[in-house]
Structures are given as structure tokens and as C-alpha cells.
């Protein structure tokens, strides 16, 4: 049995890029009358892009962010806010 703790490292996307994209997706969902939080959570849990509207190119934008990077950014923000 190995008692070593595995480490996890995320790619090169910057926090500013993730914030910019997530904000644009949030705004597009809100403009279309969706609950942005519920839709984004649905996307994160399922990785199904159909939770995100195509309005304002939001679906294409959210797919540019690796889901692991998105989760890491959200956890980092929550725990450091």
C-alpha cells in the first residue's frame, strides 16, 4: 500500500481568463432568462454544454475552460474570499 498523497496540477489558464469567461457566460444566461447559477452548476456536474446558452457565444466560451481549471478557480475564490 502506498501512503503517499497524490498531487494534482492544473493547466495554464489564468484566473483572469476564467473570471472573464465565467462572467460573460453568467451575463448571457441571465439575459436569456435562465438562472445562471443553476445552469453553470449543471454544466460543471455533467460537463454537458447544453446547460449553457449559445446566446453571446456563451457555450463556446465555457468550453474553452477545462472543467478542472474552472473548479479549481471556484474553490480557490471561495476559500480565499
Q: Is the pTM of this model over 0.85?
A: no
How confident is the model at residue 48, as a pLDDT? 96
User: What residue spans define the domains of the chain?
Assistant: 35-81
Q: Report the alpha-carbon distance of residue 32 to residue 25 in Å, rounded.
A: 11
How confident is the model at residue 6, as a pLDDT? 73
Q: What is the pLDDT of residues 23-80, one digit of tens each?
A: 999 999 999 999 999 999 999 999 999 999 999 999 999 999 999 889 999 998 899 8
Which three cell numbers, joined as nine digits, stand for 2? 502506498
Give 10-49 as a DSSP string: --S--HHHHHHHHHHHHHHHHHTT--HHHHHHHHHHH--G
Residue 56: strand, helix, or coil: helix
Amino acid at each position: 500500500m502506498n501512503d503517499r498523497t497524490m498531487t494534482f496540477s492544473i493547466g495554464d489558464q489564468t484566473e483572469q481568463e476564467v473570471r472573464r469567461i465565467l462572467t460573460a457566460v453568467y451575463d448571457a444566461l441571465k439575459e436569456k432568462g435562465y438562472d445562471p447559477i443553476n445552469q453553470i452548476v449543471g454544466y460543471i456536474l455533467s460537463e454537458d454544454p447544453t446547460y449553457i446558452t449559445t446566446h453571446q457565444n456563451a457555450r463556446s466560451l465555457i468550453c474553452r475552460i477545462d472543467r478542472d481549471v474552472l473548479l479549481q478557480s471556484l474553490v480557490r475564490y471561495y476559500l480565499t474570499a
